[in-house]
Amino acid sequence: MNEKQTITNNGTERFILVPEKFLKDMEETKTLINKLNNSEPKEELLGDYVTEKQAKVLLGGKSTTWLFYARRGEKKVNGEMKKLPYMLKSAKVGNKHFYRKADILKILDDAMLKKEAYHE
């Protein structure tokens, strides 16, 4: 049977007959989508990007709030918006932010240079 067939039961319910293989494929696809939604993305799929969780670790345990201000490039201090010396761009997929490793390393390098200049 290659075609879907529709059967009605007293006009209240509608049944659709589909090939068993089609139903199994749908179940496998559903399972795969659920796995992908409930897991961290694989590193090889991210390429030059890291997850927000990984970015926090790379930046020495910075908070979600710190990353929020870094994405905006400004922070509210004493009621005034102050421009930050950096801006961390992100790519947003769904409700998750992903950051370029190169941008994170640049922020760390700049911070290290400032720290060295301060101690000289």
pLDDT in tens, 81-110: 888 888 888 888 888 889 888 888 888 887
Q: What is the pTM of this model?
A: 0.55
> Among 5-19, 26-40, 47-61, 69-83, which is the least confidently predicted range?
5-19
How many domains would you assign to the chain?
Answer: 2
Instruction: Kindly state the DSSP code that residue 22 receives in the 8-state scheme.
Output: H
Together in a domain, 50 and 109: yes
Together in a domain, 27 and 51: no
Q: Residues 49, 41: contact at Cβ < 8 Å? A: no
Backbone angles phi, psi at 12, to 5 degrees: -100, -35
pLDDT at 48 over 60: yes
- Burial (CB < 10 A; 0-12, 13-18, 19+), residue 66, is middle
Together in a domain, 34 and 82: no
Contacts of residue 98, Cβ cutoff 8 Å, sequence gap at least 6: 46, 49, 50, 51, 52, 90, 91, 92
Together in a domain, 55 and 70: yes
Together in a domain, 70 and 111: yes
Per the structure, the complete domain to which residue 32 belongs is given by 1-39
Mean pLDDT over 25-43 rounds to 73
Together in a domain, 22 and 7: yes
Q: To which H or E segment does residue 77 belong? A: strand 74-77
Partnered with residue 17 across adjacent β-strands are 5
